[in-house]
Structure formats: structure tokens, C-alpha cells
Structure 1
């Protein structure tokens, strides 16, 4: 591979900039925005010492496992081969990052991306190593990949897990159940772009599944709890994950009532508007210093006269 010309923005960078402006920078959580800006800066050639070309950072089983060039496990994920590769990946990151960072908090989302980046790279190398040994095909060892796609597939699994069950429409008209959407996208991308890294995307899906269904989430939560008191305020609305109020037990704040059945299970199914409304209510209550206390409904008119009125009637009767 030849070195990429630095400073050549290309159409993809301009489209990405338009996407960010259209979404509104104030509506993009800070870690997501930093990841997009950082990878764009890398593509534009602002860090030539570490990202001289795709060949200098790409990740393969041969280079990582046999040559022990471990820095490629991280550097390869942050580099993109061309401007449209960058555009599609960063647009996907904007959507997934905005959802997950608001749900878990900025600190935990950064922790999630870091762990997913490392594990996806390790999974890519391991899968290719197994395939090389199984089929005696050395091409698996020399496949050299760059890009954030594997991490995005891991985030896709997490996003789908917390979304309400239903149908997703691939290419706008192919209905696919939500639990299968990332598998269908894996095959579809490989059909449309044969040179895409199938094993890299597969590694991302496996990492995402180990998080939502396996031991990875409890291990990560034990080191950095979700939320960790983080809040993101943007676009005049408050968002984020809190460990108090609505988001701690699922019950009604201040009432002591138990959470409704399966509330925690379906919290991820709330629309963004409902999540914004609840978080804004909680913020207002905390600002006031107390949560609203339950009050008894007013008595029906006419059944319970005012006490002063009763005293006046009694006095008039005995005069």
C-alpha cells in the first residue's frame, strides 16, 4: 500500500462535517464527538508520526502474533483507508455513540469503547489464527485490516440489546427481526464490499454478545459502574444515565412504591422523548432539593364540608 496523501479531505470528510452540523454539535455527547474528531484528524494527517500510511498501522495475525507488533491492535482501529470509509464509520458512530453515551454516561462509554477496541482486535487476530491453522491457508495470517468497523459492530449489538424488540428494515425494505439485524448486516456488507474484513466484523459481534449475554459486562461494571455520576447536557436538554431516582430502582421517585413489573427490562425501550422527560423531571426535583411527595386526591365536593362552616351552622342552631 502506498502512503495516503495528507491534507486531502475528499467528499467523505465534507459529508461528515455536514452530518455533524446537521445533528448539532451541542446534541453530540463529548466522548462521541471527541472520537469522531480524533479519527478525522488522524485521517487528515495531523499525526503522521504514528499514522503514516495504512501499511504502517494495519493489523494482521502475522504482524501482531508472529512479529509481536502489538501497537497495531489499537492504531489500526483508528485509521481509515479513504474518506468514504471514514464517513460511513463515523456517521454510524454518531448514531450509536449518542444513544449509548446518554444511557451509560460519558466515562463508562469511554471505558466501553476502549475495552471493545482492544478485545475486537484480539478477537480478529485469534479468529484468523484459528482459520489459518484449520484450513492451512496462510492468507488468513496476512490479511491486514484498518478501520473502526469491528468496534461499531460490537456497539451495534449493545444498542440492539437495549432497543425495544421489533423489525428493522435493511436497505429500507427488507424486514429483519432486531435480534438478527447485525448478522444480516455482516453478510450484506460482505456482499456489497467483498474486500471488507469479515473476521474483523465477526470479532466485533462476538465481543458485543459476550458483553450483553456473557461475563464481560459484570467485569466492566465492577471497575467502572455505569453512570458513575456522569451527566450530559446538550441542546437545552438533560440526558445521561443516573444511579438515582428513576434509573436506580425503577420506582416512582419519592413515593417508595416498588418498580412496575419488568420496568428495568424494558427501560431501554423508552423513546428518546420519554427518556428526556424523565431525566428532566428528576433534574428539576434534585434542583429543588426534594422529590415530590404523594398527596391524597382532593375530596369530592359536598361530601366533606369545611370545619369552619360546620361550627357556624352549630352556633346558629343554638342561638
Structure 2
């Protein structure tokens, strides 16, 4: 048994609890498959490919000089411990659900595959650049695992396609939405010094390359959302797609506004933390109604405190 699976595996319990709170049927298929696949990898279902972190981790030295190209993908799917898995997969639930419902499943799967490859390539390139510019070989030896770089790329898209407003970094620091991923990049590094700064930065670069650069037109020339069933436009009641130069701008591709109180179909600009709070409140009310006040799932306030203790330990 892998050393990662010893102990209580609290992260797996928390992840299962969060999926139950959200509802399995409310998580789109590709997002759910990504979560299930990475949990299966963590549980050693594919030991021939994911034997250990050292066997799959990605560094510019290993990838560029030793031509271990397969690590551009394998490293993103491997997590060092159960809490690492929990934090990444709980974030994927919200980002993946929003983007998969917007773009539809086929295009979202295509998007994640391209983002995974490009985030890894950008990570290798950034470390090679820093190594040669600063003459510091430690950048070339940094070996990273985990899905967080891809999640930062998805974060850029989620922020772009939701109305501008305040988001909450780490759940309590109000930040204008257009700065949220930059603030989180810095805060996560301060709270978790061992996190890969260049890995997270690579994700932001890829996300910006998609919404502001030529990546989206290039990808859409191969497979566009319209070809996979995405509606080409919305009514005049469409929401706003993002923040551009301080002005709101309506676009046909923007998601529809929330209606009839159906929050799950559209986040209305809420951050992940606000979505989580709303899901927690709804789940609590359902538990009170169905169980006479008996709690079925762990207290998510306790989970947040445990998360901060984990980061500071």
C-alpha cells in the first residue's frame, strides 16, 4: 500500500462529503470523470504509471534534458497526499461544473487536455528561463505534481465569463474579480511556501493566452463550442462576459443570467467560497428537514480551519 494511503485519509472523506453536499448528479460527466480518475490514481489503481511522485513529477531538467515528455501529462494527475488531492478536486468541482455547462462536455474535455499540456510546457519554459537568466540551477530541479496549474488556468476563464465584482481570496479577503487569480497566486505562496509558484503562474499565463491571446481562435479552428452543441447566442437578457477596460460589455457567448432561483446553472459572479457557503447552507437546511437535526456530513467550517492548520503546519 502506498504511503499516501496510510492514516485516516481525511482528505478523501472531506472530498466525498463535498461531492455528496453538491450532489453527484449536479456535477457534469467530464468534471466527474476527472475527479474520479485522479482519486483512482491516488488510490493506486494504476501503479504501473503512477508508482511514486519521483516517477512522474515534472521538472525542466527531467522533461527538457532527459526527454521525459509523458510527464507533461502524468505529473498533473498525481497528488502528493490526500489533502493536496482534496483541495484541488474541491476546486475542480466548482470550476469544472461552471465551464463544462458553458462549453458543453466535449469542448470542455478538449479544453482541459490542451490546458494540461500547455500549462506543463509553460512551466518547463519558465523554469528554464529563470534558471538561465538568474543562473540558479534550483529552478531546473524543481519537480512538481498536481492539478493546481490547470486549475489556475480554469480560474482565469471562470473569472472572465462571470460578471465583475468582489471575490474572496482564501474565503475572507475581498478582491476585485479581475485581480483575484494574481492575489491568490501570491497568497497561496505565502501560506504554502512549498507550492510551485511557477506552476501556478504557468496556469495563469495559459488562461490569459486563451482569453486575450490567439489560443482560443487556434483551438476553435480545430474544435469549436458550436460544433459540440454549444448554443451560438443568447437573448438580449444575456449576462456580461467579464471586465474589459473598466466597462461592461455584453457578448453573445456570455452565460444566461440566473432565473427561478436555479443557482447551480449559473454562479452569478459568486466566488468559489461563496458558492461553497451557499451549498453548505442549502445542505444544512436539507439535513435539518430530513434527519431532525442530526448532522450527516462534516462541518465545513471545521474543514476550513483544518485547511489553514494544514497550510501552516
* TM-score normalised according to structure 1 size: 0.75
User: 2:107·2:228 contact (CA, 8 Å) conserved in 1?
Assistant: no
- Structure 1 distance, partners of 2:178, 2:135, is 34
- Structure 2 distance, partners of 1:110, 1:94, is 14
Matching residue of 2:210: 211
Deviations 1:50-76 (A, max 9, x none): 000000000001000011111110000
- Structure 1 distance, partners of 2:212, 2:262, is 24
Which of 249, 264, 268 aligns to 2:251? It is 264
- Structure 1 distance, partners of 2:75, 2:41, is 11
- Structure 2 distance, partners of 1:4, 1:54, is 11
Rg bigger for which structure?
A: 1
- Structure 2 distance, partners of 1:5, 1:278, is 39
Question: Structure 1 pair 4/194, CA: closer, same or farther in 2 (3 Å)?
Answer: farther
Matching residue of 2:231: 242
Please state how far the C-alpha of 1:266 moved relative to its aligned partner: 8.4
- Structure 1 distance, partners of 2:222, 2:26, is 28
Matching residue of 1:99: 98
Matching residue of 1:61: 60
Please state how far the C-alpha of 1:171 moved relative to its aligned partner: 3.5
User: 2:10·2:82 contact (CA, 8 Å) conserved in 1?
Assistant: yes
- Structure 1 distance, partners of 2:259, 2:120, is 32
User: 1:59·1:73 contact (CA, 8 Å) conserved in 2?
Assistant: yes
5+ residue gaps, structure 2? 238-247, 267-313
User: 2:73·2:116 contact (CA, 8 Å) conserved in 1?
Assistant: yes
Matching residue of 1:112: 111
- Mapping for residues 179-190 of structure 1, pairs under 5 Å: 179-190=178-189
Matching residue of 2:33: 34
Question: Structure 1 pair 182/6, CA: closer, same or farther in 2 (3 Å)?
Answer: closer
- Structure 2 distance, partners of 1:115, 1:91, is 21
Please state how far the C-alpha of 1:268 moved relative to its aligned partner: 3.7
User: 2:4·2:80 contact (CA, 8 Å) conserved in 1?
Assistant: no
- Structure 2 distance, partners of 1:207, 1:181, is 16
- Structure 1 distance, partners of 2:265, 2:50, is 44
Give the total of aligned pairs: 255
Matching residue of 1:237: none
User: 2:234·2:253 contact (CA, 8 Å) conserved in 1?
Assistant: no
User: 1:61·1:141 contact (CA, 8 Å) conserved in 2?
Assistant: yes
Please state how far the C-alpha of 1:165 moved relative to its aligned partner: 0.5
5+ residue gaps, structure 1? 231-240, 253-260, 280-319
- Structure 2 distance, partners of 1:171, 1:277, is 22
- Structure 1 distance, partners of 2:62, 2:9, is 30
- Structure 2 distance, partners of 1:150, 1:269, is 28
* TM-score normalised according to structure 2 size: 0.76
Deviations 1:264-316 (A, max 9, x none): 2683472375888999xxxxxxxxxxxxxxxxxxxxxxxxxxxxxxxxxxxxx
The structure 1 segments of at least 4 consecutive aligned residues displaced by more than 6 Å after TM superposition are 274-279
Deviates more, 1:11-20 or 1:184-193: 11-20
- Structure 2 distance, partners of 1:88, 1:103, is 23
